[in-house]
Structure 1
């Protein structure tokens, strides 16, 4: 008789991911992705397509998506003092209007120095109606975690500057020298609204307007929450004992309108289906902070891992995640460890596409 896994050991969540299964580009059509379906009640695993999602929905189900919009947060420039290359990632804006940036370059950055950021070559043809000069960015102060406060020398709004000078912040496992035109569209969900993420809520990437309408025609309703995905989503777990891992913090919001839909769904016998781990974390954070079916907004560093109980989420659609990641741990908590690892084994054998531009898994 085999012993039960040690859920607090990082190695428990390891599996072999062949590099060639990491999707480097999206499929030609969003809704062409494959969908592995886990039935928790029976342990059955099915191999389907995302187009078939409406077949698994019931009247009164509530589909909860994350509507956060990805910011073109990747910046590339030159240090005025040395001429050396600099690359940065925009993280947010302080209450005083300064940018928060993490950057990398050869040598040591110092407060007060200037970075010159040109319009990326891929944007030149669209730049006629914009600010056509290089952007000058001054580094003000280095803070905790290597995050710099910086001041752009422009009267143009932050979001417009990023649209002009920034590129989509593709994950480090997608190997591209430069942003491609398709990424501006395909690394954004059809639900995107409020700006603020530096990574896409990837489960939502599979939806098209037609698929959304077919889900609604099945009797399911949609609701939108907001969680702005931070750079911490890619930070690996470095401690072998998971309890020592410091979970990253992200801002999120669940409105009264969404809370009302959750209450109605549960009273009518429907299920709450979270589209992606970010939607799940928002729903579960709210449930733990204020209760099920109640509005909430704030910061969360909720770490969902085995063994934990989900208070508000009853089904989950999510992409396939990297080994030893907090996202894989969340899936194990939702679907059960053994069933999750069996599903991942089958996904590798069946040559599913993994990670952000890859296929998905439906947990029922």
Structure 2
């Protein structure tokens, strides 16, 4: 009787271990998928940045979500696209006389950006459907993943909403819509990183530590806000003026920051004010990151949290150096893209650092095994 009881218990343990192994294998597949999604999103944002820097974003004047995936394949089709572009203010006021060859250059940047956007939809949606219907998605992850998919679909609409702002009365897109478009992209990027970090293995040292968690959350929010400010700078071409540092227009605090009325409109439409606020945001982020590193060394010495805070501070310093270099080099496209790419890496690390204070998602049978 006792032998039968022991055999049953051993069988039960083996079954639970098998369930644990299966769930961990499912998580490994999800992690691989999310890493591919993050890499594609990273490329998408960089191509979007290049599209903006080369003034290519208005070269495709129609929104064709399906048919638009096929580029012009004949001379007649190229001429048709070019004629559509010639109708908008950007061509008439800035690029009048552009050759068809020059038009093709800006067209390919915008087409590549839209192609990547379509690709990320498939890269996200198709594997998600497969994992969902094969039972590989845990219940707690279903709503967040569907939410990210819906946000991605909405982002496609926002992208066209942004482009449409430059087709009638402007020669470029609205800085408000550009900032909205980039911020939503970063929210999707951050959401994927949050889920990926939760599915990854965490150190048990100082796990679920409340000290510093709020500060880590603040840092992640500040990183996202700083990217938003950077998008306003890009939308106004504010980086092409006042190309000195640490002084701006000859002083630490330049004049005429609130020359427009009402005063708050300067925060969004005055290039000098927008650039100055972006600088201030960088100083604030630098200071808070430094304070966080010091406090983690005091409160949680020799823990993963303390080590990550050091690496995070180093990344912020690199990003600050890239920002200053971008400014001093009058927004050289290579340096500017490095600055934008590093901003995404800093945001990703900030999200991972914040998530690290909470710990991984518990496996469904983990508690039983440990008990």
Q: Same fold (TM over 0.5)?
A: no
The structure in which a higher percent of residues are strand is 1
TM value normalised by structure 2? 0.27
How does the TM-score come out when normalised to structure 1?
0.28
Kindly name which structure, 1 or 2, has the bigger radius of gyration based on alpha carbons. Answer: 2
Between structures 1 and 2, the one with greater helix share: 2
